[in-house]
Structure 1
Amino acid sequence: MTNTPANGSNPAPEIPPRMAWVDLIPDVFEGLVRLDTSARSGLDRSLLELVRIRASQINHCAFCLDIHTKAALAAGESVERIIQLSAWEESQHFYTERELAALELTEAVTVLTDGFVPDEAYNRAAAVFEEKELANLIASIVVINAWNRFGVSTRKTPGGFTLAQD
């Protein structure tokens, strides 16, 4: 199966998924869903989707990018701000102080190559989020990273996600 790009060019064939992990370990899937629901409690929907998109960009999770860009658009996020996320440090004027702090923290928690989240990133977020919000933000970053790792390692195929209508 292939998807036809909007520009009409010949699409590359899809890379087949490696496994249906959700069917194999449904208790883990349901646990992540519960954790995700609890983690996002009290966080602004737009900010949450920006964080999810940015972590998914870093982790190269096309499946999660498909889900969260569509969810962000449905929540009223602008195409321009979504497009600029991969270069948010050069496009700071598109984002609020809270969003910038959340994006910086997202990168720090997602990319742990130095072993620690830098004090500067944590302190910047702590200055603009109440302590419970910050805990929820960190939990949401951890959860999207877990989803990303399942998506990337099992090669979940992007493109088929549609939002449920309320």
Structure 2
Amino acid sequence: MTTNDNATVSAPEQRISLPDLAPEFYRAMIALDRAAQQGVDPVLAELVKVHASMLNGCSFCIDMHATDALKNGEQNHRLLSLPAWRETSWFTAEERAALALTESVTLLTQGHVPDAVYQEAAEHFEQAELAQLIALIIAINSWNRIGVTSRLSPAAK
């Protein structure tokens, strides 16, 4: 993060290390994450993870999953436009349904998951795929809460 005069500002110090202090929980989260990703297209999975992480303000997860998305062949302009995905034509109908579902699940207090959003996703994904997508969204939201609460920070590049 930089200020207007280009002076570097350091990230806040990490508060707590869950892998060290709650290792069983952390191992369970890793297992949950692996299970949640089963059967989900890797490019779509990373789009969902980046979008949820942006909504939750988790810089660690944004950095990690944007990097992973690029490694999986995602295009930079699509990642950068995720906050305005509705305003572009760069996302498929399936991706748009997944992004809308991601927003609704992530922002539960802003109207829960509307029937129209769920139905749109159900039209693009078979039931098993939809279940995995929901699991993936739940898992990344959990990771975001770990990252934000403990103040994980991406490594300097």
Q: Give the TM-score taking structure 2 as reference length.
A: 0.94
* CA displacement, residues 119-156 of structure 1 (integer Å, 9 cap, x when unaligned): 01100000000100000000000000000000001100
Aligned positions of 1:12-161 closer than 5 A: 12-91=9-88, 93-114=89-110, 116-159=112-155
Provide the TM-score with structure 1 as the length reference: 0.89
Gaps of 5+ in 2: none
Q: CA deviation at 1:22?
A: 1.3
Number of equivalences: 155
Identity value in percent: 43
Moved over 3 A (4+): none
Query: What is the alpha-carbon root mean square deviation over aligned residues?
Result: 1.6
Structure 2 distance, partners of 1:40, 1:101, is: 17
Q: Is the 8 A contact 2:104 2:113 kept in 1?
A: yes
One-letter amino acid of the counterpart of residue 38, structure 2: S
- What's the offset of the Cα at 1:9? 2.8
Inter-partner Cα distance in structure 1 for 2:83 and 2:155:
20
How far apart in 1 are the matches of 2:149 and 2:136?
A: 20
